[in-house]
Amino acid sequence: MAQRVTTIPPAPLRRPDAHKGDAGRVVILAGSRGMSGAAVLCGLGALRGGAGLVRVAAPASAQAAIAAAEPCLMTMALPEDADGRMLAPDVAILRELLRSADATVVGPGLGRSAALDALVADVVAAAGAPVLVDADALNSLAGTSLEPLRSRRATSSVLTPHPGEMARLLPGRSAELMRGDAGARLEAAVSLARETRAVVVLKGRGTIVTDGERHFVNPSGSSGMAAGGMGDVLAGLIAALIGRGMSPFDAACRGVWQHGAAADRAARRVGSVGYLAREVADELPRVDFG
């Protein structure tokens, strides 16, 4: 079994002469009609995680709402189908978008379609920088093939499943087991990390981070985080930390701890239940970055 890690990696320090272009560029492919909030929250997680530049590529009908929700986000409108789900842009546009990133996120609020399945596979295969696969993009890979992940450099991908998504990625495991049995959760996370050569973040109580050789069990956070949008913020935060120079494994360990610690701060300020994902994002800079 993978060796347990207990030390929380420190976030990288920013040089006194740093500018936004070298503070980490994050590209996020997210959102659909009715799910623009997922894209916004992922972008907020990246901004509050210290990324210098964050670009959200979304279906054209969602782009204006995303830009209005947070003016610090750069946005890009992509083609969409009749249901407001993203369609693949021109190949040259997609490649240029991915080339601009120090870290890429794909998945929050995307929805599912055959066209999206193909787009997710193309993004995972073509991204040169580390790519974080979340939410609907995980379901897309689970429903088609994990081969795009296996073809990437080892640990250059981060997968962030919740228990239900984990059960779909590893058929034969139940979501209930992935939620409540600590030993089964660890075994499954290590197994998926080794199969895909990715860093796996299995969310839930005691979130597990593993690259197949090491694992970290997160001590921060509480059940008040069982609310919509929390995972979107986490995805953006981890991508920001990667963009700022951390390895995917260290960024995931740091990210899950910082996310939980920010939620603990929000709980003390707002109440143990009822604080919002955007309030957790706003607390991220107040957590010690050292």
Residue 146 lies in a domain: yes
Domain that holds residue 111: 23-286
Residue 10 lies in a domain: no
The 10 Å Cβ neighbour count of residue 270 is: 15
CA distances for 33 relative to 37, 111, 131, angstroms: 10, 9, 24
Verdict on whether the full-model pTM lies above 0.75: yes
Local structure of 111: helix, strand or coil: coil
Give 25-49 pLDDT, tens digit per residue: 999 999 999 999 999 999 999 999 9
Show the DSSP H helices in the chain as ranges: 36-48, 60-69, 91-99, 114-126, 135-143, 147-150, 163-169, 175-180, 182-196, 230-243, 248-270, 277-283
Q: Where residue 90 sits, what CATH number does that domain have?
A: 3.40.1190.20
Local structure of 196: helix, strand or coil: helix
Q: How far is Cα 31 from Cα 43, in angstroms, rounded to an integer?
A: 11
Q: Give the pLDDT confidence score for residue 62 in this predicted structure.
A: 97
The domain tally of the chain equals 1
Q: Give the pLDDT confidence score for residue 281 in this predicted structure.
A: 98
Residue 41 lies in a domain: yes
Give 82-113 pLDDT, tens digit per residue: 999 999 999 999 999 999 999 999 999 999 99
Q: Give the pLDDT confidence score for residue 1 in this predicted structure.
A: 72
Residues of the chain with pLDDT under 50: 290
Residue 18 lies in a domain: no
